[in-house]
Structure 1
Amino acid sequence: MQERTMPEVDRTLRQLTFGHGMAEIDPQTGAIAGFSNVDSPKREYLIDADIPWHSPDFYWGTGMVVTSKGSCSWITPTTFDVTSNVETLHFDMGQAGLELDVTRSGGDALTERYVWRNVSGGPLTISQLSIEAPFNNYYPSAQKALDECVNAHIFAGGSWAWCYAEPMDGSSPSLGMIVRKGALHSYSLQTQNESVFSNVRGHIVLNVTDHAISPDSFGGQPILHLQADDSYELVNQVGWYASRDAFEDDVDAPASFSALSSPLGEGIDVETALDVNADNAHLSIEATDRGYRIGADEAGSYYIHLSGEDYSACTEVLFYAPLEETVASRVHYILDHQVASYRPGTLSAAIVSVDTRTKLQIIDPFWNDWTDGSERICMPVLLQKALNHGYLDDGDSIRAQRECDAWRDFAESNLLDASGASRRGSSQPESSFGKRLYDMPWIAQFYCEHFRASGDMHDLDMASRILNRLTELGGQHFLSIEFAETCECTARLLREQGRGAEADGILDHVLSSADFFLGLGRNLPPHEVAYEQSVVAPLISLLIGAYRITGESKYLDGIRSRLPWLLSFSGFQPDCRLNGVAIRHWDGHWFGIYRSFGDTFPHYWSALTAEVLLRLPEQIANDGTLALAARILRANMANYDADGGATCAYIFPSSVDGRAMNRADPLANDQDEHLNIWLRMIEEEHLSIR
C-alpha cells in the first residue's frame, strides 16, 4: 500500500467556506467534523465532536463498502490537501478492490464529488456502499435542542435524493444536501442502541446501496457492477436555505404527486416526464396528458418506480380503506384477539397487545409498554368511540358495549385507586399509583366516551375525579398527552349536566398549566425523554385551550411562536410514510416484539400534530395547516391491515446497527390513538375528511 504523505498538522480544524457558512475539516482525516453558519453561530448541524458516543469513525464523508473482493471502511486518507477553498483526498482500499477520490469545493454551495474506481484488475460488484452523515438530530434538553440542534429529514429515493437539516426551533438557515449525480437508495442508523436511550436518533448513514444487509428495503437495493478500471461517481451539493420552499425549488423534483396517501377508489395523479411503473398486480397505472394516474384495488402501501435515461427513482404511496371501515375492522379484531377473556375475574376485560403472526396475546407486567394498562387504554376508548359514532354492525355493537362496560370495572379494580390515581398495569405495585401522569387523561377520555353512551353520572364523576387528582399530583407542571383536550371535553359534559362550578375548576387546571409552561419559555423540563414532538404538541394544545377559555393575546402569541418548533419535526419528503410525519426513533424498542430502536414512520403520535393544526385559532389556521393535518392522519392509515390487525411500529431505515429493517413490527399494541384523534376531530367539527 502507498505510504501516507500527509504532513504533520496541529489539532486545529481547517475550513471550506460556502455561502454564509463553512465546513470544518478534521486535520487528521480530512473528514468534515462540523458545519456552521455565521447567521446562526450557536447551531451545530453535525454531532459535536466532543460528545462521548461520537468519534472520527462517524465524521461526515467517512464510510464503508462491501464488494465481491472484500470489505473496508475509509476514514484516514492516503493523501489529502486543502488549497484555494478546495479539498482533495485519496483513499487506497485495495482489500475491497477499489480506490476512492474525494473532492470538495466551496463557493455559493459546497460540492462533494466521490469517485470509486475498480482497481482489482477484473469485474467487481458492490453490495454495500455507505457514507456517514451525522446530522445533529439530538435531544440533550429542550433548551439546548431548540438553540443548537436540528431535525434531519431524509429522502433516499435513488437518483431523487436529498437531506434537509432544519433547526429544531423552526428558524433558519437550514442545511440542505441534494444528490446531483449518482443515487442514494436508502439510509441507515448506527449506534442507535439502548445505551443512549431515546434522546439520540443515532448516526445517520446514507446508502448508495444497502443490498448486503437489507436487499429488499426501499423497493429494492441494487448491486453495482464495475468492469476493470470503471468507476462509480456520486456528486452532492450542500448549501444553506432560508426555507423549505427555497430548498424544494433547488431540488427541482422530477415528479409531483396529487397525494401520497389516498382512499381506495380515488386515484393519485403523478405529473412527470419520467416513466412510471410498479411491479404489483393490485395497482393500475394509466397514462394521462401530464403523466400518470395510479389506482389500487386493495389497501396497502406500494412502491412506485420512476425512470428515464440514466435516472431511476423510487417512492411509496398508500391506498387505505375508508375511516369507518378501518375503525370497524379494527374493533372486530380487538374483540376477537385482544380481549384477555381467559384471565380470572375483572382481569378478563383487559385489552392487551397481540402478536399478529400467531394471535397470541402479549403481557409482561414489568415491561411497562406491554402491561394491560398505559397505552393499551387507547383500545377501549376506540371501542366506545366506534359505538358512539355508529360504525359497528349489530353483532359487534353488542359485543363492544359489553366489553366497554366490563373494562370500566377492570379499570376501577386494577388501574385506579380510590383517589383516581392510576398505575401502569394490574400487576404493578401499590406504590406505583400516581407515578405515571400520562395515563390519567387517557382513562378520563374513556369515562367521557362511556358517559355519552350510558348517561351514568358515575362516569362523569370519575372523569372529573381523575383530572382533579392529576393536578394534585403535579399534572399542571407535566405535559400529559391529551390533557387539555380531555379537560375541555369533561368540562363541556359537566356544564351540560348543570355542573358549571366543577367545569370551571377543570378548566382552571388548563389555565394554571398553560401559565406555568408559558413562563418557562424554551426551558421545558424533561419528561420520559428530554425533548420530543409529543412534548411540544401537548404544550401548544394547552395554549390553544387557554386561549379558547380566555381569549387573551398572550396565549395566541405563545401558540404562534411555538408552532414552528412542532412543525420542524414533520417531514416533507415525497413518500407516504414521511410526508407530514414527525420524527420518532425509539417506539419500536419500547413497544414492539423486535425491540428495535430506529425511525418509526409513521408513528401514531404524529397525529398529535394534526390535532394541534386542526384546533388552531382562526388567526393562525389556514388552508396549509388543514391540508397538512389531513396528510398526517391519512399517512397513519399505513399501520392497519385489512383484517383489522395493526403494527405498533414500522421501523423505516433499511438497517439499524447492522440489522435489516424497513419492516413492520408484528405487535398490535398502542397505535389506535391515531383513530381516536381522527374521530375526535370529526366530533368537534374540525374535520370532515374520511
Structure 2
Amino acid sequence: MRSKDFRIGVDPDSGALLSIVHPKDNASMSWIGGPETTPWQPVGSKWGLGYVDLGPLHRTFWSKPHIRVDDDRMTAAYTLDGLKVDVTRKLDQRSGSLDECYAFTNTGDESVVLNDAATEAFAIYAPFNDHYTSTEDVLENRAHAHVWAHGGASSWVKLTRMGLRGPHLGLVLTEGALAGYSIESRSVVTLSNTRGVFLLHPSVPDLEPGKSTRICWSLFWHDDWEDFFQQGIERSDQFLNVRSSSWTAIAGEMVNLTVSSRRGASISSASVDFAPGKQKGTYSGSIKTTKTGQQKITLTVNNDKTITNSTVILNVVPDIDDLIANRIKFIISKQQLSTDFSDETKAGAYAVYDNQMEDIVTFDTSSDRNTGRERVGMGVLIARWLQSNSDTEVEESLRIYYDYVNNKLQDATGYVHSWPIGSRTASLRLYNWPWVMQLHLQMAKLGNEVTTSHGNYTATPSQRLLDTVERFYVQGHANDYYPINVPIYEALTYFEEAGDDEAVQRLLALWTTHGKRIAEVGPNYPAAEVNYEQSIVAPAAIILLELYRYTKDEEWLDAAHGHFARLEAFSGRQPDHRLHDIGIRHWDGYWFGKDRMWGDTFPHYWSTLTGIAMHHYAKATGDDSYQARAEGILRGNLILFTKEGRGYCAYIYPTTVDGRKGGYLDPYANDQDWALAHILAIREYE
C-alpha cells in the first residue's frame, strides 16, 4: 500500500503489516517491527494480528485471512470459532492518515465477552520499533514509544524518532476504548536492549449473537508534542488533551486540570466540577486533595450525542519531609546489618530488604543485590538529611555505615570495589565511583571533617573525595565513560566556599577534560550496560550543564543542548502520574527486583536524572517551566515509598509481561532511595 504520506509493507499470508515508512524519509525507517528491522520478533506477533480467549484453554489467534490489497486500501477477514474478525485499512489522501479498523462479530449462538477472563485475554499486536541496537542505528532507525493505553476512549501512542528528526508517527483512537497494554518477547536472550513486543488490549461490550463491535485508530505524521495533541483533537471525536498542575500532589494541595477536545464537545466528571474555558472544547476544574493514594478520574465527553468515557490518573502523597524521615527511620531500624553480623564483609552495611519476607536479604548472590554499588544511595540520602535535621540514632547509624564504606567498599588507594572487600573478586565498574564520591561529599558537608583510618590510610571526608575523583580518572577510559551522579557543581561550590582553591583547581581540571570529551563525542554515545538508554544520555547533559553553571562558559551550554533534547525525548506526556515526564526504562525490574520481571518500569528512580537535568537546564537558561517539570518527575517517583517508610525498587507498569501479571511494586527495597536523595539534592543545588 502506498500514498504520498505512507509506504506500507503487507504480509500476503497473514494480512499483518510488516513496515510503516514515510516516503520522504532518507533513512526509510520503519516505525514498527518486522523481519527487516527486528529479526528476533516472533512471526505471530506482527502488526495487526492478535488473539482472544473464548473460554478455558481456548485462546484463539487470528492469522490466516481472506485478504485483498489495493494501492490505498486493504481488507483481511479472519474466521475463528464463533467469532469473525474483519480488518480494514485505508490510506486517506485528504487527511494524510492511515486508518485502521478491527471489527469483531459474534457468529455463535450465545453472548460472549471477549475480555471476560481478564484485560489481557483480548489483544492486538502493535510491535513499535522501540529497541536499542547501536547509537548510530537508534538515532536514525528506532523510536521511543510513549503509550497511553489505560485512557479508555482517549487512548493514544506518540512515537518519537530517537534522533529527533521528524516527522514522527502518532496513533489516536477514533472508535472504541483500550484498557491497557502488555509486553511479550522479553527474556535472557533479548535482555535489556529491546522493549519487547507491545499488545494493546481493547475494552469492549458484551456481544450478543450476530452483533459487532469495533476498535479503530488513525495513524498520522506530526512534528512535536504540541502538534501531536492538536492533530489528535482534530482527527478524533474522543481524543482529550489533559493538562494538570501536578500529577503527584501533596495532600492538601489544589490540583488544576485543563481538558481540551474537539470544538462543540462537552466534558463532565463526577470527581471534578468543570467550567467551559475561553476556547470551545476546553474545560477547566480543580480538585482539593485530601486523602492520599491514587485517584482515577473519569472524564465523560458528549460530542453530538456520542458519549465516551476516558480516564486520567493522579496520585496524592503525604508531606515529603515526613515521608523521607520515615524512610530513613525504616532504613536504620530494618535495613542495616549489625556490626557483629556473622559475615564480616556485610557487617554494618545498609542492605536490600524484602517487604514480603519482612527481613534483610543476605542470601541473594546477584551483584545488583550486594551491599555495595547502588545501595550507597541509602548512605547519601541519610547524610543529606542530617545536614538539616538532628537525630543521634541516625547519626550513629550513618557513622557505622561510613566506616563500612571506607573499609569494605573502598581500599586505601581510593579504589572503589564492586563487591565488598573479602567477599569476591569483581571487575571494575565505574558506575560505583561517583556514588562513593557523593557520600564523601555529604559527610564533608555535615561539618564532620574528622579523620578516619583505613589500614595505613588516614583522611578526612574531603580528602577522600579528592582521592576518589583523582583515582577514578586514573582508571582506563574514564573520560569516555558517562557516569551517573558525578558531583561537579556541588563539589566545586563546596570547596570554593571552604576557601580551598587548590581542590577547586584539581577537580575542575579533571572535570573539564571529561566534559570536553563528552562535547567532542556529541551524539555518538558509547554503549554501557545497555546499548542506548536514558541514563547514558542524562549524564552527558548533566555534566555539561553543571560545568556551565559553575564556570558560566557558554561552550558548555552550547554542547549541552543536543544531549538535553535527546534526553527529553525519553519522556512522555501521558495523563498518569507514573508516566508523565518519566523516562522510558524497561529492564530494572529484572536486574534489581525480587521477581526478576522484565518490562516497563514506570516510574523508576533513575528517571529522576531527567529531573536533575531539567533543574540545571532551568537554572542555566532561565526557563522556569523545566523547574516545574523537574519537581513533577521527582514527585512521580514517590509511589515507590509508603508513609511508613517502606521502599520498592520498581513499579512494573504493563498489564502483563510475557504472561506474568504486572501493575505492581516489586517487593525488594533495593536502590530506590536515590530518588529521595535527588529531592534533597535539588534543594541544595539552588
Please give the TM-score of this superposition, normalised by the length of structure 1: 0.89
Find the partner of 1:478 among 476, 481, 489: 481
Single out whichever of 147-156 and 499-508 deviates more from structure 2.
499-508
Q: CA deviation at 1:566?
A: 0.3
Map 1:11-410 onto structure 2 (within 5 A): 15-17=1-3, 19=5, 21-42=6-27, 43-50=29-36, 51-68=38-55, 70-77=58-65, 79-94=66-81, 97-107=82-92, 108-127=96-115, 128-156=121-149, 157-209=151-203, 224-252=205-233, 253-254=239-240, 255-271=242-258, 273-277=266-270, 285=271, 287=273, 289=275, 292-307=285-300, 310-341=307-338, 343-344=341-342, 347-364=346-363, 366-390=365-389, 397-410=391-404
8 Å contact from structure 1 (residues 68, 125) kept in 2:
no
In structure 2, list runs of 5 or more residues that go unmatched: 116-120, 234-238, 260-265, 277-283, 452-459
Q: 1:18 to 1:230 in 2, by over 3 A?
A: farther
Deviations 1:108-136 (A, max 9, x none): 10110110100012211212221111111
Task: Output the CA distance in 2 between the equivalents of 1:286 and 1:59.
Answer: 41
8 Å contact from structure 1 (residues 510, 545) kept in 2:
no
8 Å contact from structure 2 (residues 372, 418) kept in 1:
yes
- For 1:422, the aligned partner's letter is V
Task: Output the CA distance in 2 between the equivalents of 1:428 and 1:569.
Answer: 40
8 Å contact from structure 2 (residues 653, 664) kept in 1:
yes
Q: 1:436 to 1:468 in 2, by over 3 A?
A: same
Secondary structure at 1:76 match in 2: coil
In structure 1, list runs of 5 or more residues that go unmatched: 1-14, 210-222, 278-284, 686-690
Secondary structure at 1:409 match in 2: helix
Residue 640 of structure 2 corresponds to which residue in structure 1? 639
Aligned length: 639
- For 1:116, the aligned partner's letter is F
Q: CA deviation at 1:346?
A: 7.7
Secondary structure at 1:515 match in 2: helix
Residue 212 of structure 1 corresponds to which residue in structure 2? none
Q: CA deviation at 1:315?
A: 2.7
Q: CA deviation at 1:41?
A: 3.0
Q: 1:358 to 1:619 in 2, by over 3 A?
A: closer
Task: Output the CA distance in 1 between the equivalents of 2:114 and 2:67.
Answer: 25
8 Å contact from structure 2 (residues 570, 583) kept in 1:
yes
Secondary structure at 2:178 match in 1: coil
Say if 2:651 is the partner of 1:657.
no
Residue 281 of structure 1 corresponds to which residue in structure 2? none
Single out whichever of 295-304 and 154-163 deviates more from structure 2.
295-304
8 Å contact from structure 2 (residues 489, 547) kept in 1:
no
Secondary structure at 1:184 match in 2: strand
CA RMSD between the two structures: 2.1
Deviations 1:393-424 (A, max 9, x none): x6xx1111111111111012211111111123
8 Å contact from structure 1 (residues 49, 55) kept in 2:
no
Q: 1:418 to 1:380 in 2, by over 3 A?
A: same
Q: CA deviation at 1:521?
A: 2.5
Secondary structure at 1:226 match in 2: coil
Secondary structure at 1:375 match in 2: helix
Secondary structure at 1:29 match in 2: coil
Q: 1:99 to 1:55 in 2, by over 3 A?
A: same
8 Å contact from structure 2 (residues 9, 18) kept in 1:
yes
Deviations 1:513-537 (A, max 9, x none): 1221222232221111111000001
8 Å contact from structure 1 (residues 299, 321) kept in 2:
yes
Q: CA deviation at 1:35?
A: 1.2
Q: 1:657 to 1:427 in 2, by over 3 A?
A: farther
Q: CA deviation at 1:671?
A: 0.7
Q: 1:353 to 1:414 in 2, by over 3 A?
A: same
Say if 2:454 is the partner of 1:456.
no
Aligned-pair identity (%)? 27
- For 1:225, the aligned partner's letter is D
Residue 423 of structure 1 corresponds to which residue in structure 2? 417
8 Å contact from structure 2 (residues 377, 435) kept in 1:
yes
Task: Output the CA distance in 2 between the equivalents of 1:619 and 1:456.
Answer: 35
Q: 1:18 to 1:58 in 2, by over 3 A?
A: farther
Please give the TM-score of this superposition, normalised by the length of structure 2: 0.89
- For 1:334, the aligned partner's letter is I
- For 2:44, the aligned partner's letter is D
- For 2:102, the aligned partner's letter is Y
8 Å contact from structure 1 (residues 18, 109) kept in 2:
no
Secondary structure at 2:155 match in 1: strand
Moved over 6 A (4+): none
Secondary structure at 2:495 match in 1: helix
Residue 262 of structure 2 corresponds to which residue in structure 1? none
- For 1:165, the aligned partner's letter is L
Secondary structure at 1:648 match in 2: coil
8 Å contact from structure 1 (residues 276, 292) kept in 2:
no
Deviations 1:17-60 (A, max 9, x none): 363x3222123222111111134332331124133311431211
